[in-house]
Structures are given as C-alpha cells and as structure tokens.
Structure 1
Amino acid sequence: MENNDTWLVIPCYNEGSVIQDVIENARKTFPNIVAVNDGSADDSAERIHAAGAHLVNHPVNLGQGAAIQTGVEYARMQPGAEYFVTFDADGQHQVKDVVAMLERLRTEPVDIIVGTRFGRPRKEDDQVPLIKRIVLKTVVMLSPRTRRLGLTDAHNGLRVFNKKAAMDLNLRMNGMSHASEFVSIMDEKGWRVAEQSVDILYTEYSMSKGQSLINGVNILADGLLARKLP
C-alpha cells in the first residue's frame, strides 16, 4: 500500500469534537496513524478508535512533548516504518503539505523537514494572526540554535523525519518547551534540516484553543528557555 512506510503521530488532548474527522481524512492517504490520547477528559479515545487509528492512552495529561515521544516510540517499533510525521489533532495541518514534505524527504539528502508559516511572501489574506506572527518571530530571534539551523518557525508542529531521526529522538520536556528541545536535538545530533512552506488552517475551533494570551506567554517563555541553550 502506498505510504505504508510512513506513520503519522498525533498527540491528542480533549479533541473529541474534531479528532475523528482529522484521522479519517488523513487515513485516505496515510493508513498508519498512531494517536496518543494524553489523559483527555472527553471522548477523544473513543473517537480515535472509531476512526481506525492505533490508540495509545496516557492515564493522565502529561503534555504534548510527552505525547509526541510516546507516539514516535510506538511508531518506530512497527515493521516497515521508515518515515514519521508529527501532525496536530485540531485540524490545522493539511495532508497535502505532508505529501509534499514526504516527497522531498524521500529524494533529498535531509533527515527532517519542518513546516513553516513564513516561507512565502506575506499576502493580504495571510491567515496567521498578527499577535501569533509577532510571538513566533520573537521566539526565533531569541533562539541561537533555531537561527543556526536556518529555521523560521520553530513552533510549527508539522514535521516529517526519517528513521535515523526517529531513533535519536528523546524528548524530556513535556509542555510547550518540547518545541525548543526538538530544535536542540536537531542541532546536537547533526540532523540535516530543511524547511517547507505549509498552509495552516486557522478554524474558529483551533483559534479558540490555540491563540490565547496564555498560549502566547508560554511560547515566549519557551523562547527564553531556548536562548539559554548553546
């Protein structure tokens, strides 16, 4: 089956209203999906199971970093797994972008391709909210590693990477700071890194969950943490 060597890893926390649709849509192209239910209090686990994905449960909420690590560890043990994708549960990421990134990963000498919202000239209809744009660009300015790797959007959760990177990955920071830790691992392990312009779908639902003031403060705190790293 096409893309049978690829696993999507979806961390999920209280996404019961959308996760089944997200998985069912992705499975039209990528049959292998593991969703980590990170201690959700809603029906996320049931929705994941109904959508046909592999389900791994955290009994309590441990944070997105922990859920990604659990999912990657599960996926890299599966027979034939060669390529891995971190994919958000809220519907912001698009399968077409994964297809394009995966095609590059299969043919170019890179270990990981990271999505970026800032790879194209800005247009009037750009969906990235202004505050979000300012926060994300500030985080890049604060992070020497991010700049050294040539990344412009370190907090983009859409990443495609190969088996070498999957085996090297060992995230220990569970919350927002896992994004900076991901960048640190890329740098420390000497992964060959590239970026890919992607389209983020900002729906009313995703905006209500991911664009709050507290979320922005957490991302900036993550950037300050990254600045302390070599």
Structure 2
Amino acid sequence: MIVVIPAYEPGHALVRVVQGLLLERPCLELFVVDDGSGPRYAPIFDAVRAAGGVVLSHPRNRGKGVALKSVFRHLLNIGASGPIVTADADGQHRVDDILRVADAVTAGDDRTMVLGCRGFTGPVPLRSRLGNAASRVLFRLGAGWSLSDTQTGLRGIPDAMLPWILDQAGERFEYEQNVLLRLHEAGWRVRELSIATVYEPHNPTSHFRPVVDSLRVFVPLVWFAGSSFLAFLLDTVALVVFVSITGLLIPSVIAARLLSATVNFAMNRRVVFRAQSGRRALWRQGVRYGLLATALLASNVVWMSFLTDAGLPLLLAKVIPEGILFVTAYQAQRTFVFAAGRARSGEKAAPDDEDNNGAEAPHSKRIAPIVRMEEDPHLAGRTS
C-alpha cells in the first residue's frame, strides 16, 4: 500500500499523521511532497524522514495538482503496483480514517475509487460548511451525479486508474475536481466512505481559497455559461431581426438558431470541452451536436409558441425556455457530443484521424526499495 501526502507549508499535524500511519502499518510506503515550502519548514520534513517517510521536493511551489502528478508519475516510472491513498497535510484526515480508506480500496475492484467523505457535522467553520454546500450544487450541475463531499482529498485509487488519473488536467486544487468531474463518463466508479470531520482552530495550514479556487474548479461550467450566453445574445438579436424582416416566427427561430449554433459548436468544441481534433472526430461531433440542437430547437419552438400564444412578450418567451434547457444542454454536450474523443478508462485519446485508442496496461511490479532523497531530479525538473 502507498500513501501520498502533498504538503505546502505544513504544521506539526503532518508529522503526527506520518508517525501514526507508520506505527500502525510499518510496511506501507509513504511519500510526502514538499511543494516549495522553503527553509522555514525544513524541520517538519526532517521529522517526516525521521519517522520513515520519503520526502520528494519541488524547489518552488507549483500547486497540489502538480505535486500529486509528480508522485503518480514517479510511481509509474519505478513500476509500483498496489492501491494508492492520497491524504491532506493539514490534519483533517485521521490515521484510522486513512487506513480505512486504504483497506476499502485494497478490498475493492480495480474500477472503483474510494472517497473518504466528511459529514460536516459539529464545529465546522461556516466558510467550509457553506463552501461545501455550494460546491455540491455546482458539482451536481457539472458532473451529472451527486457527491456528499466534493472537496475531499482522502482518496483510495486503484493502480489500474493511475495512467488515466495522471492524464487529467489541472495544476492546483482544480486537478482533484477535474478527476471527479470526469470519473463516471470515463467508465470508473466511486464508493463513498464516511469519515470524521476534523478542523484545526481557524484551519491555519489550509491553503484553499474559497472564491478563487472554487472558480478554478468549475472553469468548464463557467466557460460553457459564457459560450451559451454569447450564443443566446447572437440568437436573440438574429431572431428579432429576422422576425422584423419576415414577420414569421418559426422560420426566424430556425434561421437564428442555425447561426448561433454554429458559433456555439465551435466555441464549445475548442474552448469549453477541448474535444478531440481531426476530420473524423469533427464529423462525429458535428452530427451529434446537430441531433442535440434539433431536439433542443424543437423543444424551444414548442415552448415559445405556447408562451407567445399565452400573451408573453417575445423576449421573455425566449428567456424562460433557454434557462430551463441550459443544464440539459451542458450535460448532453459533455457526455454525448464531445465525450467520445476524450481519454477513457486509462486509455489515451486517439490523435487526429485515429479512432482506435491504445490502452496502457496497468503496471505489475512491486515498488522498488525506497531511496531516501531530498529531491528527485525527475520530479523537480519537469512541468506537469
């Protein structure tokens, strides 16, 4: 079993967790990443080494996502096998809960990630309680499935998932959310395991910024909203112009939608979902987008005809259906239109016109003997 803890300017809680884990399970392999904490925190990492942990160092702070990817890449390079557990360095994960997650992922199958999820009961800081509630709603909109603790860093990862999880985007806190947002559509499963909700007074070693990092987490949804709003504006202006010229509602709706849909497809394909490129992929995505757009257009026409017949002004009759169909459109484009070209289940997406994906075989070697090191050249010298 392998435990990975990314750490930036940690407190003594990190040392207590490392000591407790190695006392309970002396045979586990424990990696701590010093993500550019600086000389002031050297005694903390010296204590981690003294307890039996391996410290891998970044010369400067590069973010939690980069720290995790550094260790994941290192484990692949040395041919490590067995489940991996990630935990936070701020004392919010108890030793017994980390080991429970480790046992659960070890006993489970190689398609299921185990998440240690907090119940947010007891003396939880208000910003954390409100932040989790808001992130659950946004996550449900973005991912299409519900999760009780979207910000948990306590995760049990089967080794078969390692190539796929390493391929996900993000450098800081958004990396962990990107993994969760794409899990189900890539064919992986999730099991929630209830853990204690622990907070140090004022949570001094947490570097999560509620507003900035939450926005980074849900950038795809924000971009989609922006793309949809631009298409909505274009569609609305074109509709008003076409109706004023022709006096015909239905043909004007269709013509305006064709114009705005073309712009929306291009933006979502390249900017929002960053879908697979190539002629085959373009045709496949275009056909699927066309089918979806036709279905949404038919629904929009029915709604607008009903609302205008009921006496609502044209603009209001347009705004109401658009708002209702926004979430449906996002989910359908993410999972149906643009999902086929992305990497699935540990496979690499095919480049250009290749449609056959080449799966990376899970590694099977046991981990090599630990080398105590201040800094792994491979980890420090590359940008994830």
Could you say which TM-score interval applies, normalised by the shorter chain? 0.7 to 0.9
For 1:224, which of 211, 215, 218 is the aligned residue? 218
The share of aligned pairs that are identical, in percent, is 23
Which structure has the bigger radius of gyration? 2
Match for residue 27 of structure 1?
22
Match for residue 266 of structure 2?
none
Q: CA offset at residue 26 of structure 1?
A: 1.4
Structure 2: where are the runs of 5+ without partners?
Answer: 225-272, 274-333, 335-384
Q: CA–CA distance in 2 between the matches of 1:93 and 1:218?
A: 24
Residues 139, 146 of structure 2: 8 Å contact kept: no
SS at match of 2:209: helix
Alignment of 1:1-230 (within 5 A): 6-15=1-10, 17-30=12-25, 31-41=28-38, 42-43=41-42, 44-78=44-78, 81-109=81-109, 110-118=111-119, 126-144=122-140, 148-170=144-166, 171-204=168-201, 207-210=203-206, 215-225=209-219, 227=221, 228=224, 230=334
How high is the TM-score relative to the length of structure 1? Answer: 0.82
Q: Which has the higher strand share?
A: 1
Worse-matched range after superposition: 141-150 or 189-198: 141-150
Q: CA offset at residue 99 of structure 1?
A: 2.6
Residues 143, 181 of structure 2: 8 Å contact kept: no
Residues 141, 147 of structure 1: 8 Å contact kept: no
**RMSD (Å) for aligned C-alpha atoms:** 2.5
User: Counterpart of 1:105 in structure 2: which amino acid?
Assistant: V
SS at match of 1:139: helix
Q: CA–CA distance in 2 between the matches of 1:146 and 1:7?
A: 31
Structure showing greater relative contact order (alpha-carbon pairs closer than 8 Å, 6 or more residues apart)? 1
Residues 13, 37 of structure 1: 8 Å contact kept: yes
How high is the TM-score relative to the length of structure 2? Answer: 0.51
Q: CA offset at residue 144 of structure 1?
A: 4.0
Q: CA–CA distance in 1 between the matches of 2:4 and 2:141?
A: 25
Q: CA offset at residue 188 of structure 1?
A: 4.0
Paired residues in the alignment total 217
Q: CA–CA distance in 2 between the matches of 1:48 and 1:88?
A: 14
SS at match of 2:197: coil
Residues 178, 217 of structure 2: 8 Å contact kept: no
Q: CA offset at residue 76 of structure 1?
A: 4.3
User: Counterpart of 1:38 in structure 2: which amino acid?
Assistant: D
